Each structure stands twice: as C-alpha cells, then as structure tokens.
C-alpha cells in the first residue's frame, strides 16, 4: 500500500506535522511541508522513491499535484490550483510541464 511504502522512508509523525502546517487553503508551502515531512534529510534516491510513490501515473500533472497531500494521508485536503501551479513551476526545471528528477531534488533542498 501507499502508506506502507511511504512509511518505510518517512515517519508518520513528520508526515502529520507537514500536513498540519498547510491545512488552510493556499497555505501550502512546499519548502515548509517537505522539511516537516523529513524529505530534506533524505538521500537523492529516497527523495526519488517518495516522488515515485506519490506520482503514481508518472504524469506529474497539475490535477495530480493537487492530490499530493492526499497521497501522504487520505484525510488531507486537495491543493488549490494556485498551489499546484506554484509547486509545478518550482519543480519543473526544464520547462516540459512535468517535475523531473532534478526538479524533485531541487524541491527538497533548501
């Protein structure tokens, strides 16, 4: 399951803290959330693994990004379109409209 795979890399308490930090609409700040869920302390491989788990159909599309928080926890909210667009813009390093491996690494480094 998704949770099992994620919990092999991230700690539940950290995921909860990350989700807690962005409960209000338009309060999602990927840097804050990724730091809180513990992604910043992970290796490039672990980061790639987490994004692989989150990006199930490998599209990295806006609609899918809106469900990013839900992939950490089913009870989390969907991102607003603006939040998803900001995340995509931050992670889309080569302008192809998707978040590639370099973008994922960039998203998780301060």
Domain of 32 in residue numbering reads as 2-108
Residue 59 is assigned to a ligand binding site = yes
Domain of 83, CATH number, reads 1.10.238.10
Q: Are 53 and 2 in contact (CB under 8 A)?
A: yes
Residue 64 is assigned to a ligand binding site = yes
Report the domain count for the chain. 1
Q: Are 60 and 45 in contact (CB under 8 A)?
A: no
Cβ neighbours of residue 25 closer than 8 Å, sequence gap 6 or more = 77, 80
Alpha carbon distance 5, 10 (integer Å)? 9
Q: pLDDT tens digits for 10-47?
A: 999 999 999 999 999 999 999 999 999 999 999 989 98
DSSP assignment letter at 8: T
Residue 96 is assigned to a ligand binding site = yes
pLDDT for res 49 = 87
Residue 26 is assigned to a ligand binding site = no
Residue 102 is assigned to a ligand binding site = no
Element containing residue 102 per DSSP (H, E):
helix 101-108
Residue 54 has pLDDT above 70, yes or no: yes
Q: Please, what is the angle between helix 81-91 and helix 101-108, to 10°?
A: 110
């Amino acid at each position: 399951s998704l949770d099992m795979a994620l919990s092999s890399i991230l700690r539940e308490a950290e995921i909860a803290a990350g989700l807690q930090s962005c409960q209000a609409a338009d309060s999602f700040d990927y840097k804050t959330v990724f730091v809180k869920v513990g992604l910043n302390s992970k290796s490039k491989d672990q980061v790639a693994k987490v994004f692989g788990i989150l990006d199930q159909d490998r599209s990295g599309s806006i609609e899918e990004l809106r469900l990013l928080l839900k992939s950490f926890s089913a009870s989390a909210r969907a991102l607003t379109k603006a939040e998803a667009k900001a995340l995509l813009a931050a992670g889309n390093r080569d302008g192809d409209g998707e978040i590639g491996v370099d973008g994922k690494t960039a998203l998780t480094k301060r």
